[in-house]
């Protein structure tokens, strides 16, 4: 089974996506991250906002309402 992680990771901003199943590609990405002293700071700074926008309660509610045919800002 193949999984698509691009919804959970903003490649090169909050994480790294290794395309292709190759130890060499994985090693190259790991070395790139280790060679970039600012990478962890960028990921740490951008990660929380990215997660909130993709997996926050507001998105969950809006998508759930849309699935059931209600407008995103339905009044109760």
> 5-30: per-residue pLDDT in tens?
778 889 989 999 898 889 999 999 99
What's the pLDDT at 55? 86
pTM of the model: 0.62
47-64 mean pLDDT: 88
Separation of first and last alpha carbons in the chain: 41
What's the pLDDT at 27? 96
What's the pLDDT at 4? 74
d(CA 51, CA 59): 11
**Averaged pLDDT score across all residues of the chain:** 87
Please tell me which residue, 18 or 3, carries the higher pLDDT value. 18
């Amino acid at each position: 089974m193949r999984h698509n992680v691009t919804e959970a990771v903003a490649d090169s901003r909050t994480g790294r996506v290794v395309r292709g199943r190759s130890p060499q590609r994985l090693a190259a990405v790991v070395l790139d991250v280790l060679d970039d002293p600012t990478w962890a700071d960028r990921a740490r700074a951008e990660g929380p906002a990215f997660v909130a926008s993709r997996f926050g309660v507001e998105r969950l509610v809006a998508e759930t309402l849309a699935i059931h045919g209600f407008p995103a800002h339905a009044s109760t």
